[in-house]
Amino acid sequence: MAQSTAAPNPTPVTQAITPLPLRSVAPWAVFVGILMLVLLYFVGAEQGAVSALSGEGVHEWVHDARHLLGFPCH
Amino acid sequence: MNSTVVRALLVRGMLAGLGAGTAALIFAYLVGEGPVDAAIAFESAGAHHEAGGEELVSRSVQSTAGLATGMLVFGVAVGGIAALAFCFALGRIGRFGPRATAALTALAAFLTVYLVPMLKYPASPPAVGNPDTIGDRTVLFFLMIALSVLLATLAVLLGRRLAPSWGNWNASVAAGGAFVAAVTLAMVVLPSGDNVPRGFPATDLWEFRLASIGIQAVLWTVFGLLLGYLAERVLEPRAAESRASALTA
């Protein structure tokens, strides 16, 4: 903090931002995107209309969040 | 090089999602649990299906640890997906810096993934919704989200196509109007999903739905602001630094 006070007049960078190339976004979008969708499935839909696991445990555990976030619950 | 930037932004998106999920959890615990309890009381008074059976997870766990699990996992997951959308939008939607792009990404996500679909298929408390129709309601709910996101994407493409000849303002108004018209048509055509049992208190339903809107609004606002702050430090460290030193000087 103390060192940066000596910095020259703060001029915000206003130049246009170069887009990130799609080739570098795509692999992350595929792998992490799918992983995140699986997480959303377990919070939002597992043991509702379809069940990957038997029983009601997941459904009952996230019950309140599922209702309040707007997912159809039961 | 660019791949490391994407990874850095993705990690920050998930962190911002965790922070947003925490804020949403606090809001949900304070504002949302009351209407949920009221709905469960109505359900037990009617004493049909679930009330008689043995409780798998107690109410006190559902409203604390269960609620926290759902909110935090939801926050991290949508944070990761929204960070990927942010990486794509950056530099492609006009001359916006990282903070404005993050705010716009969060606003677009709130509108297209939550608010527009919920106008047709609103969040419903326990006791509202027939268990026999859960399959149909789930399909329609996700269909409405997919439609809303698809139509919004088409509207943005339309706006970009029109902008050079119509100017930014007129092109944005036309694209927004086209989105509203298309969404309205979809809502008129799709079947109604409401299934409120007779005698369910209207006030409780309203408070529950208002709480649901509030939770998502808190989540996406905190997410957009946090992601913008964190992303600027990755993408424009000098601009972030000069802003910080201007604050502390």
User: Are the Cβ atoms of B74 and A69 closer than 8 angstroms?
Assistant: yes
CB < 8 Å to B124, chain A: 67, 72-73
Do A68 and B137 make contact, defined as CB atoms within 8 angstroms?
no
Q: Are B17 and B71 in the same domain? A: yes
Residue type, B135: G
Q: Is the Cβ pair A69, B71 closer than 8 Å?
A: yes
Contacts B123 to A, Cβ<8 Å: 67-71
Residue B174 and residue B218 in one domain: no
pTM of the model as a whole: 0.90
pLDDT in tens, B40-64: 999 888 765 554 456 788 999 999 9
Q: Which domain holds residue B42?
A: 2-128+200-248
Crossing angle for the helix pair B98-109 and B67-89, nearest 10 degrees? 130
Question: How near does any CA of chain A get to the CA of B25, in Å?
Answer: 9
Q: What pLDDT does B244 receive?
A: 84
Kindly report, residue by residue over B185-200, the tens digit of the pLDDT: 999 999 987 788 889 9
Q: Is the pLDDT of residue A8 over 80?
A: no
**B103 and B140 housed in the same domain:** no
**Domain containing residue A72:** 22-74
Say yes or no: B102 and B113 in one domain. Answer: yes
**In this model, does residue A12 exceed pLDDT 70?**
no
Mutate to test the interface with A, among B48, B196, B242 (most CBs of A within 10 A): B242
B212 and B230 co-located in one domain: yes
| Domain assignment of residue A10, yes or no | no
- B117 and B23, same domain (yes or no): yes
Q: Is residue A6 part of a domain?
A: no
Give mean pLDDT, residues B116-131: 91
Structure tokens at B11: 């990690």
Put simply, the chain A residues between 5 and 24 with a CB less than 8 A from any chain B CB are 5, 7, 10-13, 16-22, 24
Does residue A67 lie in a domain region? Answer: yes
Q: For residue B112, give both structure tokens.
A: 């297209």
Helix (H) or strand (E) holding A1, with range, is none
User: Between chains, do A20 and B6 touch, taking CB under 8 Å as contact?
Assistant: yes
Mark whether B184 and B221 lie in a shared domain: no
Q: Which of A21, A40, A49 sits opposite B74 (nearest CB)?
A: A40
Asked if residues A40 and B78 have their Cβ atoms less than 8 Å apart, the reply is: yes
Are B120 and B193 spatial neighbours (Cβ–Cβ below 8 Å)? yes
Q: Are residues B42 and B158 in the same domain?
A: no
CA distance B127 to B134: 13
B42 lies in the same domain as B25: yes
Query: What pLDDT is stored for residue B46 in this prediction?
Result: 75
Q: How many domains does chain A have?
A: 1
At A1, the pLDDT band (50, 70, 90 cuts) reads: very low
Q: Could you give the percent of chain B with pLDDT greater than 90?
A: 77
Question: SS3 for A50?
Answer: strand
Number of domains observed in the structure of chain B: 2
